[in-house]
Structure 1
């Protein structure tokens, strides 16, 4: 088996892992991702002394680094989607069945919520929270559509040309997107739902979440068709 055969690439897994192990990988990977996102947000805000830019920088670096690691270790098991928008893309490409895609979505959302609760426990926060941080307006929604469009294009482009580089490419893209988007690049419906349950630095008010999710799904679908045109044999 060559190194490329074991590279995590967000493709359907090349080994015959059963659905239970694949779903467990999606749930655990998404949980760890949200623990990093929310936990680093709390830590950054605590240590930054009111400097929001420093807090965001800490949040950004931790999230980007964690994505590289999580995609690398869980990619061979489940494809390391950790994101319903990404799973939708692979279902549209007929690389994962719709039934398994629905199970992935449930595992991702459940894992994301568990990760948020784990972050709350680590920082002695109340476990059950609801965010009050509004992120409303057309600019925020457009940011999420563009962030998700870029994420999916990054994934499909690296799968097409450099599959072994996918974990690093995704981590780098999200690191950049935290800073070039007005929304700080959630780019993930499961993340959006889970972050609505954390009234911390990384939170989003539940009333803001539907527009984010709609924009994320629209961006993912647009990127799917764009990649089909650009990257086809």
Structure 2
């Protein structure tokens, strides 16, 4: 079934809003319940985010593709799989959806609706981590679409859950998520001054993944039988 552009954009907005509500909300809950144990707080944050991604991709995937990420939309645009106009409105929907999700999370926990993050996330290790995290995410998406499309939701959720722990940055891997998290002075927040390098690293990792996937997952031409 083909969905109208307005419905696809609405799906991207709602999906990204729910994703950020999960990221920020679970971070707040984890920090409150863990009594200062950041490992436990991160574990709660991880489980909530990974599970939510699986659900969101399964629900919104048939409508919009469930990009929920400007880096993903950008790669699909570069591959010629989404029109320029649609890619642009997707990105705006993702950004505003992410900001709406942050506000919703703050409201649920009776916190100021708009804040500025103060958590320092800077340095070459963190920037490299964001490049690696986004590279892996896009490679996971493109590879799974090639070999087992039905497994995209599960694979993305599992990848992000793993990347929360093996990357120094806890795997933002999403420019819209990064910008939105700068407006939350909570466990999952980021200092606004640290946003731009993260985004550069994310788009760089996504572009590299697209190039690798083009060679790695290209199907060999069929061999004539006679």
Of the three residues 78, 92, 103, the one matched with 2:78 is 92
Counterpart residue number, 2:15: 29
Unpaired stretches in structure 1, ≥5 consecutive residues: 1-14
Counterpart residue number, 2:183: 197
Q: Does 1:62 align with 2:57?
A: no
Q: Secondary structure at the match of 1:77?
A: helix
Counterpart residue number, 2:6: 20
Counterpart residue number, 1:105: 91
Q: Does 1:178 align with 2:170?
A: no
Q: How many Å separate the matches in 1 of 2:210 and 2:175?
A: 17
Unpaired stretches in structure 2, ≥5 consecutive residues: 220-226
- State the structure with more CA Rg: 2
Of the three residues 156, 162, 187, the one matched with 2:142 is 156
Shift, 1:98, TM fit: 1.1
Over residues 161-220 of structure 1, what are the superposed CA-to-partner deviations in whole Å (9 max), with x where a residue is unaligned? 000000000000000000000000000000000000000000000000000000000000
Deviation beyond 2 Å, 4+ runs, structure 1? none
- TM-score calculated relative to the size of structure 2: 0.96
Q: How many Å separate the matches in 1 of 2:83 and 2:215?
A: 23
Counterpart residue number, 1:124: 110
Q: Does 1:215 align with 2:226?
A: no
- TM-score calculated relative to the size of structure 1: 0.94
Q: How many Å separate the matches in 2 of 1:147 and 1:16?
A: 32
Counterpart residue number, 2:133: 147
